Amino acid sequence: MADTRVALCGITLDNPVIPASGTFGYGYEFAKFYDINRLGTFSFKGTTKEPRFGNATPRIAECPSGLLNCVGLQNPGVNAVISDELPKLKKVFRKPVMANVSGFSTEEYVYTASLLDKEEQVGWIELNISCPNVHGGGMAFGTSPKMAYEVVAAVRKEVKKPLIVKLSPNVTDIASVAAACESADADGISLINTVLGMRINLKTRKPLLANITGGLSGPALLPIALRMIYQVYEAVKIPIIGMGGISCAEDVVEAMLAGATAVEIGAANLVNPYACRDIIEALPETMEKYKINKLAEITGGAH
């Protein structure tokens, strides 16, 4: 019988499938469609210290093999997440959840992460230092090994739960940023976030997005993500959550062979709300097809 279990920073998951932050709300929204306890876990919507309305509209633009978004970290703020969103989630999800944290200064990261770290429902902190959509925000931290080290080290001092750092692909050397996070005592790395792109409206001759540029996600990202997962696996010893264009069980296996311990599914959830459920259901048959008995054993198998 196929064993889909994996261990992520000391916590065992029934399977490696994790809906990515920003594509799964706070979980209970998707509980209307299926039992979300079938998931390994999920990363809830990016959370900041203060409430954020996000960027001006239009925020979404479709393109071949993916979509662009510049939502801008819209969220109700960490205090509202703790008082309102987590209690709703607890009614439908019995597993530890991943808390995705963003900020505009080291102090904001520390404040938000330390509050969520105290919540019983939170199993991991996913520190987003990679968002390319907010000017002066996460991207500044994620593009510099020195700044990445400083913010991770500061959060590490205040956070006891596993700390996973989400990296930007919009850099020339992602492995050096990952190594800096590991040296600052991060417990894991997640990558990749979206790649900067844009579209132009031919009728108005203006950018389609109000923010001009946005983050490209979807199947087009898979080859880029695989390359970066492979590179980071060579550079660090801590677990990797792979993401970027993963939309079927074969993609999960490919990402794990590149070096991922688990995977996050993003844009596929926006196309099909059952995407993660369908991938989980397809895993045993895919494992049998490729003669895999224990999924955890294939991590890094392509190296």
Would you please indicate which residues are annotated as catalytic (active-site) residues? 131
Q: How far apart are CA 112 and CA 197, in angstroms?
A: 29
Q: Is the omega angle on the peptide bond into residue 280 within 30 degrees of 0, that is, cis?
A: no
Q: Which residues contact 135 (CB under 8 A, 6 or more apart)?
A: none
Q: How far apart are CA 303 and CA 300, in angstroms?
A: 6
| Residue among 103, 85, 30, 8 nearest 278 (CA) | 30
Q: Which residues contact 204 (CB under 8 A, 6 or more apart)?
A: none
Q: What is the DSSP letter of 207?
A: E
- Which pairing describes strands 97-101 and 122-128: parallel, antiparallel, or unpaired? parallel
